[in-house]
């Protein structure tokens, strides 16, 4: 028997054909308008999975690239500040060399001291530079001001408040770049080498190792002076006495002079003074009473006894025979061991923990040297200056090393940026090859789908015009 199509069956067939062709057209139009081949996971499950993985990798690359862009200004700002600091130290060195000129008077040296102290203030300001709300040289403690001044006058110095770490930028899966250098590395040194003294009093290092950082002031004082006096000459017992250990006192009646040790022979005035100040070649002072001098030659040995302190509070008596006397500064924790056998005079002795100083303190120490509040000789002042000048040179070298590190890290950031850019392009190319549509192909598919839909619509319209009567015959 023959099978005749029903009206309902024809309608269903036409409806399904139209829906299928319309779906193809809509999908082709979506691909054309979006430029993407995969619009939903069901379009290509395997391709969608690969594309999702590539997008995830692209997101990581974008994060690393952003870290590079965020870190570059920190490195550039740090390098700029270190260049300024280098110029300041060069200026300070030139002033220091100028101050070593023996023809300058004390007023000239005071001017140089003021200029060097101003440079120390500027260097501290540079070391405390902020970039945005971050301190550049505080290590990872970027909200902490790195250097703070403490103390007063000649005892003023700076303390480092930051840490020894450094901010880092993640520029790859296992690649990091440090974005700065901590202030205690570029403005200070932490590698102790030796303890040095300014060679004012004759103090020397003991036999045991010392511990400390920066600078300390070792103070020696004269507590009493004793000696077998005669010919009417007596000790005045003045607070100006600064001899320590044995010193020879000689009166030449013929020449009418009096001499302490190897110091200059001084003419005895008339009338005879009750207080006559004598200075040995080492700068030590003895005051004698000449008012009852008999007018005869006289030679004797006078010996000063004293005590010593590292912190200016706790004083320790010494005999001049100690080879390893331990002294401690409770405030700073510094411990030194001294040999007193060559001590000849009282005074303040600069103690330098070589290799463990910050450059700002070095500049402050140089300023104090040139002010010469102890009234030292030119040779003694220059001895102290040369001691600190060596530390200044070391500090400048360390700062330049830090500047070189920042330059190398900046170059590495630039290299990382280039590599990340290339990687991003590669990932985008791979993702595009999987996920994006071939525009010429999808336009052709859309045209075909549109034409097919039009044909299906025309065919459906003709079929639906027939009734059951058309099949009776």
Query: What pLDDT, on a 0 to 100 scale, did the predictor assign at position 302?
Result: 97
Tell me the pTM.
Answer: 0.73
Query: What pLDDT, on a 0 to 100 scale, did the predictor assign at position 1?
Result: 47
Q: Say if strands 215-227 and 147-150 run parallel, antiparallel, or are unpaired.
A: unpaired
Q: Could you tell me which of 57, 13, 53 has the C-alpha nearest to residue 423?
A: 57
- Taking the CA atoms of residue 362, residue 366, residue 371 and residue 373 in that order, the dihedral angle to the nearest 10 degrees is 60
Query: What pLDDT, on a 0 to 100 scale, did the predictor assign at position 83?
Result: 96
> Do both 228 and 81 map to the same domain?
no
List Cα–Cα distances, 159 to 144, 232, 361, 383, in angstroms. Answer: 12, 55, 9, 26
In a domain, 92, yes or no: yes
In a domain, 358, yes or no: no
Query: What pLDDT, on a 0 to 100 scale, did the predictor assign at position 327?
Result: 95
Query: What pLDDT, on a 0 to 100 scale, did the predictor assign at position 332?
Result: 84
In a domain, 276, yes or no: yes
Edge-to-edge strands, sheet with 325-328: 204-205, 335-339, 325-328
Q: Are 297 and 252 in contact (CB under 8 A)?
A: yes
Number of domains comprising the chain: 2
Task: Read off the pLDDT of residues 87-106 as tens digits, 9 standing for 90 and up.
Answer: 999 999 999 999 998 889 99
Q: Are 161 and 141 in contact (CB under 8 A)?
A: yes
In a domain, 200, yes or no: yes
Helix, strand, coil: what percent of the chain each, to 5?
45, 20, 35
Show Cβ contacts of residue 189 under 8 Å, excluding neighbours closer than 6 positions.
355, 356, 357, 358, 394, 395, 398
In a domain, 233, yes or no: yes
In a domain, 40, yes or no: no
In a domain, 374, yes or no: no
> Do both 230 and 324 map to the same domain?
yes
The domain in which residue 341 lies consists of 196-353
> Do both 136 and 166 map to the same domain?
yes
> Do both 229 and 118 map to the same domain?
no
> Do both 155 and 254 map to the same domain?
no
Structure tokens at 302: 């006078």
> Do both 159 and 247 map to the same domain?
no
Q: Could you tell me which of 246, 236, 247 has the C-alpha nearest to residue 276?
A: 236
> Do both 72 and 178 map to the same domain?
yes
pLDDT < 70 stretches in the chain: 1-44, 47-48, 51, 431-473
In a domain, 29, yes or no: no
């Amino acid at each position: 028997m023959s099978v005749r199509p029903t009206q309902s069956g024809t309608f269903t067939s036409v409806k399904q054909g139209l829906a299928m062709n319309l779906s193809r057209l809509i999908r082709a139009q979506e691909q054309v308008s979006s430029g993407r081949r995969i619009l939903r996971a069901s379009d290509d499950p395997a391709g969608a999975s690969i594309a999702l993985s590539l997008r995830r990798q692209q997101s990581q690359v974008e994060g690393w690239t952003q870290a590079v862009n965020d870190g570059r200004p920190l490195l550039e700002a740090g390098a700029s500040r270190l260049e300024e600091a280098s110029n300041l130290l060069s200026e300070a060195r030139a002033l220091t060399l100028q101050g070593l000129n023996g023809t300058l008077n004390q007023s000239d040296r005071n001017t140089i001291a003021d200029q060097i102290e101003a440079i120390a203030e500027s260097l501290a300001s540079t070391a405390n530079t902020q970039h945005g709300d971050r301190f550049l040289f505080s290590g990872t403690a970027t909200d902490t001001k790195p250097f703070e001044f403490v103390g007063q006058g000649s005892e003023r110095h700076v303390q480092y408040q930051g840490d020894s770490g450094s901010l880092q930028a993640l520029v790859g899966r296992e690649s990091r770049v440090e974005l700065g250098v901590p202030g205690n590395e570029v403005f200070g040194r932490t590698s102790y080498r030796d303890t040095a003294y300014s060679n004012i009093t004759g103090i020397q290092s003991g036999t045991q190792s010392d511990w400390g950082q920066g600078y300390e002031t070792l103070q020696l004082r004269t507590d009493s002076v004793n000696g077998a006096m005669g010919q009417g000459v007596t000790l005045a017992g003045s607070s100006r006495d600064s001899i320590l250990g044995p010193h020879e006192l000689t009166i030449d009646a013929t020449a009418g002079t009096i001499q302490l040790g190897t110091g200059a022979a001084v003419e005895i005035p008339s009338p005879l003074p009750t207080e006559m100040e004598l200075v040995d070649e080492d700068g030590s002072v003895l005051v004698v009473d000449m008012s009852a001098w008999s007018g005869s030659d006289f030679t004797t040995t006078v010996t000063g006894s004293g005590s010593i302190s590292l912190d200016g509070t706790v004083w320790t008596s010494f005999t001049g025979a100690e080879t390893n006397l331990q002294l401690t500064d409770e405030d700073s924790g510094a411990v030194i061991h001294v040999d007193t056998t060559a001590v000849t005079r009282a005074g303040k002795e600069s103690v330098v923990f070589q290799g463990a100083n910050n450059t700002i303190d070095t500049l402050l120490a140089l300023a104090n040297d040139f002010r010469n509040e102890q009234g030292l000789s030119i040779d003694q002042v220059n001895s102290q200056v040369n001691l600190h000048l060596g530390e200044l040179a070391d500090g400048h070298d360390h700062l330049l090393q830090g500047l070189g590190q920042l330059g190398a890290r900046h170059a590495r950031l630039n290299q990382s940026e280039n590599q990340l850019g290339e990687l991003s392009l590669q990932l985008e190319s791979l993702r595009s090859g999987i996920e994006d549509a071939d525009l010429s192909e999808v336009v052709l598919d859309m045209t075909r789908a549109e034409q097919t839909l039009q044909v299906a619509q025309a065919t459906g319209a003709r079929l639906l015009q027939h009734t059951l009567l058309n099949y009776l015959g």
